[in-house]
Amino acid sequence: MGASLIILAAGQGTRMQSDMPKVLHRVAHAPLLAHAMQAGAALEPERVVVVAGHGAEAVEAAVAEIDDSAQVVFQEDRLGTGHAVLQARAALEGATGDAIVLYGDTPFIRPETLAAMLDARAARGVVVLGFEPADPARYGRLVMNGESLEEIVEYKDASAEQRAIGLCNSGVICADAAELFTLLDEVTDDNAAGEYYLTDIVAIARARGLSCGVVRCAEEETMGVNSRADLAAAEAAFQARKRAEALENGVTLTAPETVHFAWDTWIGRDASVEPYVVFGPGVTVETGAEIRAFSHLEGCHVSSGAQVGPYARLRPGAELGNNAKVGNFCEVKNAEIGEGAKVNHLSYIGDATVGEATNIGAGTITCNYDGVFKHHTEIGARAFIGSNTMLVAPVRVGDEAMTGSGSVITSDVEAGALALGRGKQVVKPGLARKMFEKLKAAKAAKVKDKS
Ligand code: UD1
Ligand code: CA
């Protein structure tokens, strides 16, 4: 039977200095809460319950977006972690299997670590995720007897001897779902903080004759976010990990420390990414593609062998075919660029389809917006769009058609046709020289006047 997840997300996060609930602040473009839920999702949980409190409406809306099968319950008064978990009782009524408690503000627990906790649970009543921080500070301390966990003592309640323990409570706890609540029934608020401590279930389980155990993890995994500085540190940790992963997966990063990834960036083997590239959410880059310096990509797909940038912007819905090129100072939005097609310089291609091997000249613009509606531009295969063409959508240009430079194209161009939509050139011999002489004489007269 799959485990269930209880994710605590009721805290206010005062130190964030924010109007937004803490768990909705983002790392790599995803809310902290989504990171925590994602780690648990790998276990294919039977039920997911998020305990919301501060900013509950916003949290509920975010949860619906992340996992619409997750339930949100409310903790009206924040009376402690034990009290928070109790709010999930009704939502977990009848759940068989284990429950794992996670914190919504702790984004980096690895799925493998949670799986190890479930394994350890086979032999223990309660399993706690422990870690040995460089500075144990005010974490709860894990009091061990050999490999058995005796109790968790909160820092505030700990003796000097207990405070000297280096093994700390990450907050992640696993127990049988039904048993978790009967253990919590015995928790009181008789302690230094006057709170219902989730951590008290360890001593209560021991008193019932259940053995408790610890799974250890690296400190990085338990990193929590309490302030904007923590948020920045979490972002940096995420980026460092994602860069290392990309390198391991066979992606060339010329200057890894300058490349920023989103939580879901996917880059294929033998793709290369030059310095100062930013990936927003929803980007996939296939094998062998080249993302050149200073490019910004989001919600787009770059196929095998395609080249992007330097200085390119790919916005949501940009789809580059195999070996397509989008060069410097080009923006592509909601548009398919066919196989081998080129959009090389200073162009905007939005709401469009560009056929294979078509060349889009410098400065071409798809005029897709009339102030109210968006319109589509369709360009066929092997067409040649002259520099500075304005394609006033809706409009179609057929296969192997051409447009003259500087044309404003307002009606369809059939396959194989040349369209010219520009003023006729007039040349007046000698007139430039005459104009210059006249202007220079006027300037000289002015200077004389002033002196
Ligand atoms: C808790 C643990 C401590 C552990 C530490 C790790 C307890 C009693 N203590 O302490 O052993 O070392 O985490 O970071 O469990 N929350 C609610 N509702 C509440 C109280 C808390 O949703 O009523 C949520 C918070 O938003 C937060 C999490 O639970 O995400 C932990 O709460 P917090 O107050 O930070 O616990 P600590 O005192 O740090
Ligand atoms: Ca805390």
Nearest ligand, CA of residue 142? 1
**Is 202 a pocket residue for ligand 1 (Cβ < 6 Å)?**
no
Strand partners, 359: 342, 384
Spatial strand order in the sheet of 342-345: 252-253, 272-273, 290-291, 307-308, 325-328, 342-345, 359-360, 384-385, 402-403, 418-419
Strand partners, 290: 272, 307
Q: Residues 283, 319: contact at Cβ < 8 Å? A: no
Counting from 1 in the atom list of ligand 1, the atom nearest the Cα of 139 is 12
Tokens of 21: 């609930």
pLDDT of residue 12: 83
**Is 197 a pocket residue for ligand 1 (Cβ < 6 Å)?**
yes
How close is the Cα of 199 to the center of ligand 1, in Å?
10
Buried b (16+ CB within 10 A) or exposed e, 379-405: bbbbbbbbbbbbbbbebbbbbbbbbbe
Q: Residues 314, 298: contact at Cβ < 8 Å? A: yes
Counting from 1 in the atom list of ligand 1, the atom nearest the Cα of 169 is 12
**Is 103 a pocket residue for ligand 1 (Cβ < 6 Å)?**
yes
How close is the Cα of 124 to the center of ligand 1, in Å?
23
How close is the Cα of 134 to the center of ligand 1, in Å?
20
Tokens of 135: 């500075």
| 3-class state of residue 141 by DSSP | strand
Question: CA–CA separation, 345 vs 361, rounded Å?
Answer: 7
Q: Nearest-CA neighbor of 326 among 313, 371, 334?
A: 313
Whole-structure pTM over 0.85, yes or no? yes
**Is 21 a pocket residue for ligand 1 (Cβ < 6 Å)?**
no
**Is 8 a pocket residue for ligand 1 (Cβ < 6 Å)?**
yes
Question: CA–CA separation, 355 vs 57, rounded Å?
Answer: 46
Q: Which of the residues are catalytic?
A: 345
| 3-class state of residue 13 by DSSP | coil
| 3-class state of residue 259 by DSSP | coil
How do strand 48-52 and strand 71-74 relate by DSSP bridges? Answer: parallel
Nearest residue by C-alpha to atom 26 in ligand 1:
11
Instruction: Please spell the DSSP secondary structure of 174-197, one letter per residue.
Output: EEEHHHHHHHHTT----STT-S--
**Is 168 a pocket residue for ligand 1 (Cβ < 6 Å)?**
yes
**Residue keyed to tokens 């093994």:** 167
Pocket perturbation via mutation, ligand 1, pick of 81, 191, 219 by most ligand atoms within 8 A of CB? 81
How close is the Cα of 174 to the center of ligand 2, in Å?
18
Q: Which residues contact 190 (CB under 8 A, 6 or more apart)?
A: none
Q: Which residues contact 356 (CB under 8 A, 6 or more apart)?
A: 321, 338, 339, 340, 341, 381, 382
Q: Residues 86, 195: contact at Cβ < 8 Å? A: no
Strand partners, 385: 360, 403
pLDDT of residue 295: 99
Nearest ligand, CA of residue 154? 1
**Is 169 a pocket residue for ligand 1 (Cβ < 6 Å)?**
yes
**Is 131 a pocket residue for ligand 1 (Cβ < 6 Å)?**
no
**Is 81 a pocket residue for ligand 1 (Cβ < 6 Å)?**
yes
How close is the Cα of 91 to the center of ligand 2, in Å?
25
pLDDT of residue 1: 63
How close is the Cα of 171 to the center of ligand 1, in Å?
7
Instruction: Please spell the DSSP secondary structure of 68-136, one letter per residue.
Output: TT-EEEE-SS---HHHHHHTTTGGGTT--SEEEEEETT-TT--HHHHHHHHHHHTT-SEEEEEE--SS-
Q: Nearest-CA neighbor of 122 among 45, 44, 174, 180?
A: 174
Which value, to the nearest 10 degrees, does the dihedral of the CA atoms of residues 197, 198, 200, 203 take?
Answer: 180
Nearest residue by C-alpha to atom 17 in ligand 1:
10
Q: Output the tens digit of pLDDT for each of the chain's 451 residues.
A: 689 999 999 988 999 999 999 999 999 999 999 999 999 999 999 999 999 999 999 999 999 999 999 999 999 999 999 999 999 999 999 999 999 999 999 999 999 999 999 999 999 999 999 999 999 999 999 999 999 999 999 999 999 999 999 999 999 999 999 999 999 999 999 999 999 999 999 999 999 999 999 999 999 999 999 999 999 999 999 999 999 999 999 999 999 999 999 999 999 999 999 999 999 999 999 999 999 999 999 999 999 999 999 999 999 999 999 999 999 999 999 999 999 999 999 999 999 999 999 999 999 999 999 999 999 999 999 999 999 999 999 999 999 999 999 999 999 999 999 999 999 999 999 999 999 999 999 999 999 988 7
Question: CA–CA separation, 173 vs 38, rounded Å?
Answer: 17
- HSE-up of 425 (CA within 13 Å, CB side)? 5
Tokens of 198: 């989730």
* Helix-then-strand count for the chain, H and E: 9, 35
Between the alpha carbon of residue 170 and those of residues 20, 155, 224, 362, the distances in Å are 25, 13, 9, 56
Tokens of 20: 């937004």
Between the alpha carbon of residue 185 and those of residues 91, 157, 197, the distances in Å are 16, 21, 11
pLDDT of residue 84: 98
**Is 263 a pocket residue for ligand 1 (Cβ < 6 Å)?**
no
**Is 75 a pocket residue for ligand 1 (Cβ < 6 Å)?**
yes
How close is the Cα of 443 to the center of ligand 2, in Å?
75
How close is the Cα of 28 to the center of ligand 2, in Å?
22
Counting from 1 in the atom list of ligand 1, the atom nearest the Cα of 53 is 22
Nearest ligand, CA of residue 104? 1
Question: CA–CA separation, 236 vs 223, rounded Å?
Answer: 12
pLDDT of residue 451: 78
Q: Residues 356, 303: contact at Cβ < 8 Å? A: no
Nearest ligand, CA of residue 22? 1
